[in-house]
Structures are given as C-alpha cells and as structure tokens.
Amino acid sequence: MAKGGVGKTTTAVNLAHGLAMQGKRVLLVDCDTQDQVAKFLGVKPAYGLYEFVTGRNGDGRPLAKMETIHRARENLWVLAGGIKLVELKHWLGEQPREQRHNLLGQSLVPKGDRLDFLIFDCAPGWDILSVNILMAVQEILCPVSLQAPALEGLKTFFGYLISAQKQNNALNLKYILPTLFDRRTRQSFDIYGRLKRLFTRQICHPIRYNVRLSEAPAHGKTIFEYDRQASGAQDYQKLTRRLIDDGIRAEQTPRFF
C-alpha cells in the first residue's frame, strides 16, 4: 500500500520465509498484478488469489480453495497474484455494495487448518483490493524507504488508514520498517531519526541497503537461501524475531473482559 519500490515484496517474502524457518505456518498472499511473490520464491503456481476468492478458474470451472494454494517451502504457502487480479477487482466491483469490501476477509476465514501468520503483499496505490485487505487484517507493517522523501507518501497512506479504521476498528499500524538504509548518506539518518521520534512504539530496526537482497529474487531464492551471511539476512532475521517475540508477549498478556 505504501509507495512503489520501498521493499514491500522483499519484506513480505523474506519475513514470511524467516517465520516459516522458525516453524511458524505462514500463508503469503500476493495482491499485486506484477506477480512478484511467486517469482521471488522461484515457484509457478497454477492458480492464485483470483481463483481462491471467486471459487472458479478462468473457464468458470469450480475449484476447491485448497487447489489454489501453492506450497512454496516447508511451512510456507502462497496465494499468487498476477494479471488475473485485474479480473478479480472487476468481480469485486460487481458484487453487492454492502459486501464488496469484505469478500476477501470472508473468504480467508480459516477452516480448521492452523495458520500462525497471514501476510499480504500489497500493490502500490489504492483500489478495491487494497480496501478489502484493510478490512480483512488487524496489523499493518509499513515499509518506509530511507532513500526518498518518504514522509510525503506516508501522509497519503495515513489518509487511507484513517478512513479504513472507521469500518475496521481492529486495524492497527503495528510496525514501521525503515528500508534501504544507507549509512553513507545523511538522508538515511535524517529520515530514520524522524521516524523514530514519530513512531516510538512501531519503529523497527532498519533494513540496510544490501545488494544481495536485490540479487536473490533473480535466483528464485530468499535471502536466507541465497546468502545466509549477508546483512540483509541478519536484518530480516531481526524482524522475524521481533514478530515472534511480540506474538509470545501478546499471548502472555492477561486479558480482562
């Protein structure tokens, strides 16, 4: 949902694999017509999110949901995106007005099968699919590039967020993830400093600029498979740890109803 090229897909894929390697069961949903998630993971799913939500393939043949989910790694499943999502957006737009923003959330209600994390990789921009995502989720992780005047993009995003929160009270901006951190540039330190002050609770350890992160997708590998020693692997490992620790803390926090 954040601006283009800030590391959303890089984060979604490496975080999802990081969690899966820690034994968490993860479903990664690609909500972008560019179909990058499957490419980054080097897999070729036959079906994806279009078929999952509509329950049909392109010829109108009914499909079971399980047929549309592709197992990409141990503990990691993928719902692919791609050009079919254009049709999915049309389909969503044709549904009754009172339902059309909630269909993704409704179709993802887990049926018995245990999942620990459901991660959506969003496309840049704002459309009926992004609205459906914001209605379906509780937590947002927002990557922010430290290499661009990123705070402008954040303002636009906050506008969307506030309007979505009116309909989904549970929606929470949980993490701000600084990306493309380059210690040779003052800009990186400036933006990071401002983000730290603005988002004391949400701020995460930054992901450094690391050429290995940009090479890995061409090999269909995550950073953990491509170069375990790279700074990118260390940084995404840290992020994985934070999410797991927050999950444990949330379970331990007493709840009073």
Ligand X SMILES: Nc1ncnc2c1ncn2[C@@H]1O[C@H](COP(=O)(O)OP(=O)(O)OP(=O)(O)O)[C@@H](O)[C@H]1O
For 45, phi and psi rounded to 5 degrees?
-65, 145
- Segment interacting with ligand X (CB under 6 A) among 50-58, 63-71, 202-210, 249-257: 202-210
Q: Distance between CA 135 and CA 133 in Å, rounded?
A: 5
- Segment interacting with Mg ion (CB under 5 A) among 3-11, 66-74, 197-205, 226-234: 3-11
8 makes contact with Mg ion (CB under 5 A):
yes
Cβ-based nearer residue to ligand X, 45 or 81? 81
For 194, phi and psi rounded to 5 degrees?
-65, -40
Residue 112 burial (C-beta neighbours within 10 Å; 0-12, 13-18, 19+): exposed
Region label for 75, one of left (φ > 0), alpha (ψ between -120 and 50) or beta (otherwise): left
Cβ-based nearer residue to Mg ion, 6 or 190? 6
- Segment interacting with Mg ion (CB under 5 A) among 5-13, 98-106, 227-235, 243-251: 5-13
Q: Which amino acid is at 96?
A: P
- Segment interacting with ligand X (CB under 6 A) among 18-26, 106-114, 128-136, 206-214: 206-214
Q: Distance between CA 113 and CA 115 in Å, rounded?
A: 6
10 makes contact with ligand X (CB under 6 A):
yes
51 makes contact with ligand X (CB under 6 A):
no
8 makes contact with ligand X (CB under 6 A):
yes
5 makes contact with ligand X (CB under 6 A):
yes
Residue 80, beta-bridge partner list: 48
Q: Distance between CA 224 and CA 62 in Å, rounded?
A: 37
Least separation in angstroms between CB 158 and ligand X: 18
- The single residue among 78, 140, 180, 195 that binds ligand X, judged by CB under 6 A, is 180
9 makes contact with ligand X (CB under 6 A):
yes
Q: Which of 254, 214, 256, 210 is nearest to 235 (CA)?
A: 210
Q: Distance between CA 46 and CA 39 in Å, rounded?
A: 13
Q: CB under 5 to 8 A by kind: which of Mg ion, ligand X, none does 4 bind? A: ligand X
Site residues (CB under 5 A) for Mg ion? Answer: 8-9
Site residues (CB under 6 A) for ligand X? Answer: 4-10, 32, 124, 179-180, 207, 209-211, 213-214, 217, 232
